[in-house]
Amino acid sequence: MAAVIYNEQELLVRLKQGDESAFTALYSTYWKPLYFLAYKHLQSSQTAEEIVQEVFLTLWEKRAILTIHSPGIYLAAMIRYTVYRHIAREKKYPVKHTDAAAPSQLLSEEASQTIDHKLLFDMVAKLSARLPEKCRMVFINNKLLDQPIQQIAEQMNISTRTAEAHLSKALKIMRSNLGNVSSFFFIF
């Protein structure tokens, strides 16, 4: 019996309905690239694995309320912000806490950041969906999946200069539409 292959939108609909096989399909598809993205910034295999697991746990727990247009973009953005929060926590609390109030303060900070990040994810996803196809592909691969421009050019069978031009065009469009928020997103 042949396996049924679903497109991403069907998987997202099934995920929202609580279908574990849709979650498993998304997990299988995105776990490795998300792990490498986290590892690239943290240089810790254990921490990268924990962050990827945390992101997928959040995806499952909030599946009914999330509006996701592109799972690759959304999950990569979740990884970036989870890594960012991890680094910020490490700088703020470099040693283990004995104070009981500190973890609860972290949770309330994370809750407010989650709302801000969801809004940003949605804006980036909507804007990137409106980019010309090649600009969108270069933007996603470079800024969200952290692939080098040379690798993207090879994958798309275009010159490095052409890939850079597509990225510049995409960034210009994104910055003009996102305003000040874009500087935070594209620096990291």
Give the tens place of pLDDT for each residue, 125-179.
677 777 888 888 888 888 777 788 999 999 899 999 999 999 888 888 777 776 5
Residues 136, 115: Cα–Cα separation, whole Å: 25
CA 146 to CA 41: how far, in whole Å? 10
Residues 14-18 have a mean pLDDT of: 89
105 and 137 share a domain? no
- pLDDT for 76: 87
Check whether residue 125 and residue 56 sit in a common domain. Answer: yes
- Return the pLDDT at 164: 92
Question: Which residue from 143, 145, 164, 144 is spatially nearest to 153, judged by alpha carbons?
Answer: 164
Q: Which two tokens stand for residue 25?
A: 């399909």
Range scoring the smallest mean pLDDT among 1-10, 44-53, 137-146: 1-10
pLDDT of residue 147: 81
Residues 143 and 114 in one domain: no
Q: Pick the residue with more confidence: 120 or 52? A: 52
Q: What is the mean pLDDT of residues 31-39?
A: 89
Taking only the tens place, the pLDDT of each residue in 58-86 is: 889 888 888 888 888 888 888 888 888 88
Q: Are 20 and 109 members of one domain? A: yes
Residues 96 and 176 in one domain: no
Which of 129, 151, 174 corresponds to the end of one domain? 129
Quick check: 35 pLDDT over 60? Answer: yes
d(CA 77, CA 125): 10
Given a contact cutoff of 8 angstroms between Cβ atoms, the answer to whether 14 and 21 are in contact is yes
Chosen domain end from 129, 157, 175: 129
Domain that holds residue 172: 131-188
Task: Tell me if 1 is assigned to some domain.
Answer: no
Q: Which of 25-29, 94-98, 143-147 has the lowest mean pLDDT?
A: 94-98
pLDDT score of 107: 47
